[in-house]
Amino acid sequence: MSLIFNKSDTFTGKTLLQDKAVFIFAGLAAMTAAAGFFGNDYQLRFLAEILIFGTAVLSLDLLVGFGGLVSLGHAMFFGGAAYAAALVAQIFGADLFVMLATGTIAGAVLALIMGIVVMRTIALFFLILSLIVGQIGWEIIFNWRDVTGGADGLRGLPPLTLHLGFATLELNSGLGLFAVALGLGLICWLAAVSFVNAPIGRALVGTRERVLRMNALGYRIPRIRLMALVVSGAIAGAAGSLFPFVNQYIGPNTVHWTTSAMMIIMLVIGGVGSLYGAFIGAAVYLGIQNYVSSYTDRWQLVVGLIFVLTVMIMPKGIVAGVKSLFTGRSSHDA
């Protein structure tokens, strides 16, 4: 069986070279070295947080940008994995690879559970059911006080460590967390690009735009979407596993649907379907939140204004908008 897809539907090696997306991460790598000299601990932790959320939004882009599935339950993968990593860290210590494995598995399992419930639905029904399932997860975490700390969350987590056999490195500094978050972001971005270029990724695009044809050719659409959801959950979980160690704390709001909505806003600002736009959207959103909130509590109004302007002026996001400046094409067509 074969399908014909437009080149714009999926990533190809040529497109990746043209977009020069890899240079974003090369620039971030250079920032790591520069940050060690010029950035203080707070600034580096903030940059780490941007990269962590960027990775989580990247996972959401797999669903929204390539599968046409908008989820308001994505915070359950991210926050649920964060709680899983924090709980394991309290018992066994916070080894980096153990935390990443815990978060990745937790995110994938939670996505599988959600997928079994919602994956045979489409469009609005998928959105609503993902919200309901995600909020059930939030209710469990909020009320299971003996395990999760309830409304107080989990505090005083051990520092993130990396065991090298001959030595143990503590990664609780801002620079250490930033370097780990950067490495994870790059790995997850490469994994997402590989997934999109694989047959399953091309089939996922088909489920977004050519449902009748996919059914006629014998593709099992719910299974394809479920696989995409599990991969998305695994990436979100990997990002979530690092989040508790940025501030040595994790709270129930991380699992709330408002965090899912925040990720969607980040994605729209950066650019749906661009993958690396997830990091740009996270940087813009968190940058506004961090800067404007120091002057007023109404920073959400500024974010809302930026969101509206982005949709009006650059409906495909900042990535497509900037690209149009160099190609001479309208951002509507970029």
**Residue 57 above 60 pLDDT?**
yes
Residue 120 in domain: yes
Residue 94, helix vs strand vs coil: coil
Task: Average the pLDDT over each of 20-24, 87-91, 200-204, 239-243 and give the range with the smallest value.
Answer: 20-24
User: Alpha-carbon distance 330 to 214, whole Å?
Assistant: 32
Residue of 292 and 76 predicted with greater confidence = 76
Alpha helix segments (H runs only) across the chain: 13-19, 22-38, 41-67, 74-92, 96-118, 123-143, 145-148, 174-197, 199-209, 211-216, 221-242, 257-270, 277-292, 299-313, 317-327
Q: How many whole angstroms separate alpha carbon 75 and alpha carbon 252? A: 10
Residue 277 has pLDDT above 60, yes or no: yes
Q: Kindly state whether residue 26 falls inside one of the protein's structural domains.
A: yes
Sign of CA dihedral 16, 17, 20, 25: positive
In a domain, 301, yes or no: no
Are the CB atoms for 267 and 61 separated by under 8 Å? yes
Residue 289 to residues 153, 258, 302, Cα–Cα distance (Å): 22, 15, 9
Cα 292 versus chain centre, distance = 23
The residue behind tokens 């990775």 is 55
**Residue 328 vs residue 276, higher pLDDT:** 276
Identify residue 127 by its one-letter amino acid code. L
User: Which CATH number covers residue 27?
Assistant: 1.10.3470
Q: Which residues, in sequence order, are bridge partners of residue 162?
A: 169
Task: Give the mean model confidence (pLDDT) for residues 211-216.
Answer: 78
Residue 269 within any structural domain of the chain: no
Q: What is the pLDDT of residue 23?
A: 63
Tell me how far the alpha carbon of residue 22 is from its chain's centroid.
18
Residue 176 has pLDDT above 70, yes or no: yes
Look over the chain and give the mean of its residue pLDDT values, rounded to a whole number.
85
- pLDDT of 314-323, one tens digit each? 877 887 777 7
Span 163-179, average pLDDT: 85
CA pair distance 232, 240, nearest whole angstrom: 12
Residue 331 maps to a domain: no
Residue 222 belongs to some domain of the structure:
yes
Q: What is the pLDDT of residue 5?
A: 39
The total of structural domains in the chain comes to 1
More confident residue, 267 or 295: 267
Listed range (148-152, 157-161, 214-218) with the worst mean pLDDT:
214-218
| pLDDT value for 137 | 93
Residue range(s) defining the domain that contains residue 123? 11-254
Looking at residue 36, what is its pLDDT?
59
**DSSP labels for 192-237?**
HHHHHHSHHHHHHHHHHH-HHHHHHTT--HHHHHHHHHHHHHHHHH
Q: Could you report the per-residue pLDDT of 214-228, keeping only the tens digit for each?
A: 878 778 888 999 999
Q: Are 318 and 281 in contact (CB under 8 A)?
A: yes
The pLDDT, as a whole number, for residue 17 is 41
Across the range 135-161, mean pLDDT stands at: 93
Residues 227-269 have pLDDT tens digits of 999 999 999 999 999 999 998 999 999 999 999 999 999 999 9
Give the pLDDT confidence score for residue 206 in this predicted structure.
87
Q: Give the model confidence (pLDDT) of 97-113 as tens digits.
A: 999 999 999 999 999 99
